[in-house]
Structure 1
Amino acid sequence: MYERLAEAFERGLKGAMKKFYSWLEGLGIDSGKFSLDEVEEFLRTNPEVTVDRTRELETVAEYMGYYSRKKSEVLHIPILGVSGSGRTHILRVIFGFSSNVGMRALFMDAAEFSEVEAESQRFEELLEEVRERRPDILIVDNCESDANIRYSLRELIRAKGRGVLIITSWCPVTWEYERDDVEEIVETTEEVFLNPFSPEETFQLISKIASFISDGKLNIPKDVCDEIHRYSMGIPRVAITLFFRGFRESFRSGGSGIDLKAVRKAAGAMGLSNLDELLSGLSDMQLLVLKHIILSRDPRGIRPIRLVEILNRDKATVSYHLEQLLSGRVVTRTKLGRFAFYRIRRDLLPFVQLRLYREGEFYRA
């Protein structure tokens, strides 16, 4: 019985997707490019389409020039940005630029060695690569993913020997939490923060994505881009996600392309409609709970018992605040066997990070 139901489900799914993709093609959109993965690959392989991050990139380039003259120093530039702010893209631009000025760079993702231990074979292989290649620049992305980042950075610096320019990327909440420990290993030369885009920069981003998915055939009205900016608050990945979901909402309602109504429906589905009210209504304890969910390296989320230990509160208090966050659609709950894990909803994560970072002094508990 279930097998026949599954077959019927697949027929319905394929039929619906076929209709949607045909609808996109009718708008001049290449349906094969209509995905976040395709856009990320496009941005990764085409650094020249970077929307204005000139000031941030020039800051890094100046330190690259300084280091190239005086390679005996250890310099550290942390790139800070909320989830979806384009940190990886900026690092890829820097990596590509390094070869243009004759500097050897090694790019690595801290998520790959997030579980390293002293005798980890994978990490030893990475250290050996550093010893052999002797890069001028070490680029380490997603440092918040590594529970042993202090150890990892120390060993990378030791493996290089003498001087090195280290460029790292961090969620700003994690950086504030880890900074003192990291600076025992390597002092911060300068922090570079990736601010959310302005309305004009969001317009440029959406215009470039629209051109990519339609081979230059599609133009998005300025008022639609302004509405995307209003809901996304200029966070690049949120803006792109909202842009794509706007097309799906338009298709479902029988529209002829993305418009203001479709963007608003998509924003509602993503939980962005009353975001200011939602964030401003969070209590101090709820913000502390959210902070420690962010700081948890477990991809499944955090268990309530762990929050009880960290916050030194009783289980009933922690459970109450988690239930409030769950009912407000700020977090999700996943049950694995007897255990429940809580995570911040992906679409809301960057906004929570930004709120906590801007008020970081208060929420250091």
Structure 2
Amino acid sequence: MRKTEWFYLMGDDQDKLNRFQEAFERGQEGQISNYEAWLQDHGIDSERTDQEYLKQYFREHPEKAVNHEEELEEVAEYIGFFSQRSNVYHLPVVGVSGIGKTQFIQTVSNLLGQIEPEIEQRTYRADDFMELGEEEERIFEVRDELRGLDKVVVYVDDCEWAESESLIESLRVIEGVVEDAFLVTSWTPEYWRHHSEDVEAVLPSSTEIHLSAFSEKDTLEALNQITEVLSDDGLDLPEEFLEEIYRYSTGIPGVFTDLLLASLRETFVKELELGSTESVSAAAEKLNLAGVEETVYDLSDTKVTILTHMLLWNHRDGIRPSQLVDLLDRDKSTVSYHLKDLQTEGLVESEKQGRSAYYQVKNQVRPFIQTRITQNGEYNG
């Protein structure tokens, strides 16, 4: 019995050795089965297949980015109006996560710098403004930077990630130090609606700029622009492949960019033909995009309220169930039941830290949930 088992293992080991040798010889011939090599074989620069790389590229080359053209012109009109007057103006830019608010602001800044270089511009992230009283140095650094500037456009990005009281107080400080300024702030819709009254009391807005999802035509154009960045030779991807990406992403730039990159990887993993719609479907499943619109649409009011509070709770670690219990004034078992359901539905994820679990809305589904909240006017929970 032992001899038979020993010979079986020896045979298994020999097979493993043979496969190892075959793989070694393939490597000697340059046949490497990894994603980077596959990308290279298809003329794609692997270093460019990264969301952050693409974001930075289009921020540096706004002329190549498909953007919200009508909204850009609207902002340009307001800044042009401001340039001939002395006052403090405020323009909130509102859009779901991944819609391209940062890209939009960077494009405004870049284009304005080209046509009116004498207008001073300053850009800040809202979460740079620490809580006053604890780490108040940064906002006063900003105050000192802005003091004395004759005419300045100030961009405050990612307001949804700042602690609300600190942000509003920071805007008050900025408003108090500049006499001739145009402030552009960016917000997710639920965060803007929840805090707009407090902001307006400090810094009334001239109007609101709402960024919408791209049309199918603009999405396909944007995807083609991205593929030109990925490959110097360009990628000739079938139109049905790009249309499938649009269908799952509904024209949200952050989503269709992630889906394109994930589809390329699925093409490699599943050994599909480049441009296969099957790769898009597989990537959509992995990113929890398959059926997400229907899932979000069918959510109960209670679940939408929970998700709204989770989005408004802007701590990057997430929120604990006990904190949701306090916010919702519901018993722990009810909150836990709904959180478990939301996890099963692929909308929420959790992470254990010590004895506590922290929950947050998954990044890829945030825009779909924010759209649902916006459509239903459910901001305050």
Paired amino acid for 1:167 = V
**Residue matched to 1:9:** none
Deviations along 1:307-330, whole A, 9 cap, x unmatched?
Answer: 111111111111111111112111
TM-score normalised to structure 1 length: 0.91
In structure 1, what is the Cα distance between the partners aligned to 2:40 and 2:275? 14
- In the TM superposition, residue 114 of structure 1 has moved relative to its aligned partner by 4.5
Where structure 2 has 5 or more consecutive residues not aligned to the other structure, the ranges are 1-26
Deviations along 1:239-268, whole A, 9 cap, x unmatched?
Answer: 010001101111111123131010011001
- In the TM superposition, residue 340 of structure 1 has moved relative to its aligned partner by 1.2
Structure 2 residue 44 is matched with structure 1 residue 29: yes
Deviations along 1:279-338, whole A, 9 cap, x unmatched?
Answer: 122110100000011011211111111111111111111111111111211100111111
Give the % identical residues: 33
In structure 2, what is the Cα distance between the partners aligned to 1:119 and 1:36? 32
**Residue matched to 1:271:** 288
* SS in structure 1 of the partner of residue 350 of structure 2: strand
**Structure 2 residue aligned with 1:93, among 107, 114, 120?**
107
Paired amino acid for 1:95 = S
Q: Following superposition of structure 1 onto structure 2, how do residues 35-50 of structure 1 map, counting pairs within 5 Å?
A: 35-50=50-65
* SS in structure 1 of the partner of residue 363 of structure 2: coil
Q: Which has the larger radius of gyration?
A: 2
**Structure 1 residue aligned with 2:167, among 149, 158, 177?**
149
TM-score normalised to structure 2 length: 0.88
Paired amino acid for 1:267 = A
Where structure 1 has 5 or more consecutive residues not aligned to the other structure, the ranges are 1-14
**Structure 1 residue aligned with 2:198, among 181, 184, 192?**
181
- In the TM superposition, residue 341 of structure 1 has moved relative to its aligned partner by 0.8
The answer to whether the Cα contact below 8 Å between 2:351 and 2:359 also exists between their aligned partners in 1 is yes
Paired amino acid for 2:105 = L
Paired amino acid for 1:192 = I
Q: How many residues align?
A: 348
In structure 2, what is the Cα distance between the partners aligned to 1:52 and 1:299? 28
Paired amino acid for 2:124 = M
**Residue matched to 1:159:** 177
- In the TM superposition, residue 98 of structure 1 has moved relative to its aligned partner by 2.5
The answer to whether the Cα contact below 8 Å between 2:43 and 2:233 also exists between their aligned partners in 1 is no
**Residue matched to 2:137:** 121
Deviations along 1:104-144, whole A, 9 cap, x unmatched?
Answer: 11111112225444761122212111115455211100011
- In the TM superposition, residue 236 of structure 1 has moved relative to its aligned partner by 0.3
In structure 2, what is the Cα distance between the partners aligned to 1:17 and 1:286? 47
Provide closer, same or farther for how the CA distance between residues 146 and 194 of structure 1 changes in structure 2, counting only shifts above 3 A: same
RMSD: 1.8
Structure 2 residue 251 is matched with structure 1 residue 237: no
- In the TM superposition, residue 346 of structure 1 has moved relative to its aligned partner by 1.1
In structure 2, what is the Cα distance between the partners aligned to 1:188 and 1:17? 57
Out of 256-265 and 132-141, give the one that drifted further.
132-141
Out of 124-133 and 51-60, give the one that drifted further.
124-133
In structure 1, what is the Cα distance between the partners aligned to 2:219 and 2:195? 31
Provide closer, same or farther for how the CA distance between residues 117 and 90 of structure 1 changes in structure 2, counting only shifts above 3 A: farther
